[in-house]
Amino acid sequence: MVKKKKRWTIRCQIIIYLKTMHVNVLFPINSEAFTYLVPQELQSYIKVGFRVEVPFKRTYKTGIVIAIDRKPSSTSLNKGTGKLKKSITLKPVKSLLDKEPFLPANILKLITWVSQYYLSTSGLALKNAVPSAFFTGKKAGKPRIVYEEEIVKLKFLNLTSDQKRALSKINSEDKGVFLIHGVTGSGKTEIYMRAVKSLPEGKQAIVLVPEIAITSQMISRFRSNFGDEVVFLHSGLSTGERITQWQKIRTGKVKIVIGVRSAVFAPFSNLGLIIVDEEQEASYKQFEGLRYSARDVALARGKLENIKIILGSATPSMEAYYAAKSGTFHYIQIDKRVEKKTLPEVEIIDMTKELKDTFSLSAKLVDALKQNVEDHKQSLIMLNRRGYSPYFLCTDCGHTHKCPLCNITLIYHKDTNTMNCHYCGSWLNPETLCPECGGKEMKYLGTGTQRVEEELNRLLPELSLERMDRDTTQKKLSHHRIVKQMEERKIDLLLGTQMVAKGHDFPEVTISAVISADIALNLPDFRSAERAFQLFTQLAGRAGRGDLPGKAYIQTYEPDHFVFDYVRNHDCIGFYEKEINQRKELSYPPFSKLIRIIFGFRTKEKAKKIISNISTVIKRMEHNNIEILGPAPAPIEKIRNLWRWHLILKGRNAKTLRMTAREIVFKIDHLKDVKVDIDVDPINLL
């Protein structure tokens, strides 16, 4: 009797077993996947990579199937007993939205890698990888012409011997990472295009660029060689355009994607090559949400898909340079410009010795600019600070205005007559009386791009100029309009933030200048020398790319800073050798890996109390050769009304480092009133 009953139960379970199918569905939200039942009528159609509509919190939501399980999946089983849990009633999938997989398997793999490496969730990785419109049911739209009115077909150039050498090295291997370390104007774009051209039939390529403002020339060159085989992905696309472009990529209708950061997730299923131009650029790293580096994700995708990666730069990151030197990457050095053009002479201008009759421009630079206008040549000036003036100060008591939310000095913008916070975007109207002491002598101190523009217009009225910074390039395509004006020689001078320093190829520019080098030199960050060296070298590299030689001027109050010795001589290698020793001594990247954990609190008092709890947790942990610095207040104490503290974890082994970070986060999970953010491979510690 007893036996019979048991057999009957087993038979029942087998029937359930055969009829049950579960899928794990991922949504573009900060979470892992959820499990759903698949109704019988859908079972023979559903596949991994399909989009499905499922019930979610009393409504319906679109997600992606990332796994199919014909057995009751682990979440629906009681651990150990193998019996179906009574408490969980799984909801069924409502409908399928695709007839073939929407997301190729390689992208699903990449999403998993990203979520694990960055200690994030697969859902957040998905959100970054796929345009949100695909989950909200928006319709595709016809893309507008972004750049050229028509595609001018150009021939590939005859390669220089350096370019030939680079290309044959790249073509001699079918996987691995190549670092092209080629001086500014050495013709890297031509090498990129040839490398794409050399791909076997049917293979696809992604070209990553740091920001759209410096990309329009690269796009034009690719378009003139590859025509409609290229699409451009950037943040300025409308939803409809984004959908259209993405579909073209997914279905293999195009061969090449050029794009910023998130283009690394382009859903090609037969990828052969990823190129990362200006690989050292900070803008490859996302600063909020999923803090991924597109360069590093490209390297990971290269490994996962067994393909070639080309990193290109005139000033590679210390990490890339070190990897190349130690044989992890193939190293290709080009130390000459094409057609024997010379690198510009660099002059460091000591601002302590300058007469103070202008706010920011040395007499020498003004003279040189004046001469250049007379000679019908173009100039390019960088000041890495937008707005009019960084300090609005009471000359009686010294009071400066800070953002009430961010504890950061507000920057005065003259065009809008507001004091703006460059961190959170909030603004205040400037007051005529000091709010602290009632004093009437409020003064603007220091210079931003708006003020230099005003000064140049006053000193050199004959000179026509355009300003390019985040304020003038907010509108779609406005950066392209400015670049075009420069190309067509409609203006004499381009003034702007670091946006003007990189990438551009304007043959008529013979003078490039940095107004205040000191901004870059004095950041409290172990990478500040590296950044400054890269920025000045790039800026100098904009001059003298055409027939006439160029000259670069760098204004500074610290002319003896060691960085200038190397900038002056275009001595990249010398700089690296010096800097790498520093890094080694202090055991900073590339000799270690860093993870930064940022804690945010509503009040200063809460911060103190909770931080002491966090410290106790950390003290009790085993450290496995991981150095833990902090918790300490972050250099920027408050952003968007959150008081910030941070921990920096440093170690040689990336895996143990990640494990330790995860353990810390796990152990403080029960603490309330604290927002925890993890930054794997942080690129600033502010």
421 binds Zn ion (CB under 5 A): yes
By CB under 6 A, what part of segment 505-534 binds ligand ADP? 505
Residue 373: which of ligand ADP, Zn ion, none does it interact with, CB under 5 to 8 A by kind?
none
**Distance set, CA 54 to CA 90, 136, 360, 404 (Å):** 11, 13, 61, 43
Phi-psi group of 185: left, alpha or beta (phi > 0 → left; psi -120 to 50 → alpha; rest → beta): left
- Give the residue, chosen from 73, 163, 538, 555, that forms a contact with ligand ADP under the rule CB under 6 A: 163
We find the least distance from the C-beta atom of residue 153 to ligand ADP, in angstroms, to be 15
Residue nearest ligand ADP (C-beta atom) = 187
**Would you mind telling me the total number of residues written for the chain in this entry?**
686
491 binds Zn ion (CB under 5 A): no
Nearest to 614 by CA among 682, 686, 675, 679: 675
**Cβ proximity to ligand ADP, 225 vs 420, nearer residue:** 225
Distance CA 664, CA 618 (A): 7
Distance CA 179, CA 329 (A): 6
Distance CA 21, CA 37 (A): 6
**Cβ proximity to ligand ADP, 44 vs 161, nearer residue:** 161
Beta partners for residue 208, in sequence order: 259, 276
182 binds ligand ADP (CB under 6 A): yes
We find the least distance from the C-beta atom of residue 293 to Zn ion, in angstroms, to be 25
> Would you state the structure tokens that stand for residue 96, as one six-digit string?
């399928």
558 binds ligand ADP (CB under 6 A): no
Distance CA 643, CA 602 (A): 6
We find the least distance from the C-beta atom of residue 315 to ligand ADP, in angstroms, to be 11
| E strand segments, 120-247 | 176-182, 204-208, 230-233
Residue 424: which of Zn ion, ligand ADP, none does it interact with, CB under 5 to 8 A by kind?
Zn ion
The residue to which tokens 């003896």 are assigned: 560
Exposure string (b/e) for 194-212, b if CB count within 10 Å is 16 or more? bbbeebeeebbbbbbbbbb
The contact mask relative to Zn ion for 593-622 (x = CB under 5 A, - = no) is ------------------------------
Residue 423: which of Zn ion, ligand ADP, none does it interact with, CB under 5 to 8 A by kind?
Zn ion
Q: Which range, of 184-192, 280-288, 421-429, 580-588, touches ligand ADP by CB under 6 A?
A: 184-192
Phi-psi group of 119: left, alpha or beta (phi > 0 → left; psi -120 to 50 → alpha; rest → beta): left
3-class SS shares of the chain: helix, strand, coil, % to 5 = 35, 25, 40
We find the least distance from the C-beta atom of residue 545 to ligand ADP, in angstroms, to be 6
Angle (nearest 5°) at CA 24 between 19 and 27: 140
CB 23 within 8 A of CB 65: yes
- Give the residue, chosen from 28, 131, 187, 651, that forms a contact with ligand ADP under the rule CB under 6 A: 187
190 binds ligand ADP (CB under 6 A): yes
The contact mask relative to Zn ion for 376-405 (x = CB under 5 A, - = no) is ---------------------------x-x
We find the least distance from the C-beta atom of residue 636 to Zn ion, in angstroms, to be 10
159 binds ligand ADP (CB under 6 A): yes
48 binds ligand ADP (CB under 6 A): no
Q: Which range, of 158-166, 238-246, 456-464, 599-607, touches ligand ADP by CB under 6 A?
A: 158-166
We find the least distance from the C-beta atom of residue 324 to ligand ADP, in angstroms, to be 17
- Give the residue, chosen from 22, 51, 188, 242, that forms a contact with ligand ADP under the rule CB under 6 A: 188
Distance CA 379, CA 552 (A): 10
CB 271 within 8 A of CB 206: yes
Residue 163: which of Zn ion, ligand ADP, none does it interact with, CB under 5 to 8 A by kind?
ligand ADP
- Give the residue, chosen from 37, 107, 406, 540, that forms a contact with Zn ion under the rule CB under 5 A: 406
Give 36-58 as a 3 state SS string: EECCHHHCCCCCCCCEEEEEECC
**Cβ proximity to Zn ion, 46 vs 424, nearer residue:** 424
Q: Which range, of 96-104, 156-164, 167-175, 483-491, touches ligand ADP by CB under 6 A?
A: 156-164
Distance CA 215, CA 627 (A): 40
**Cβ proximity to ligand ADP, 505 vs 677, nearer residue:** 505
338 binds ligand ADP (CB under 6 A): yes
Beta partners for residue 215, in sequence order: none
184 binds ligand ADP (CB under 6 A): yes
CB neighbours (10 Å) of residue 246?
Answer: 22
- Give the residue, chosen from 56, 359, 391, 423, that forms a contact with Zn ion under the rule CB under 5 A: 423
Residues at the site binding ligand ADP, with contacts judged by CB under 6 A: 157-160, 163, 182, 184-190, 338-339, 505, 545
Residues at the site binding Zn ion, with contacts judged by CB under 5 A: 403, 405-406, 421, 423-424
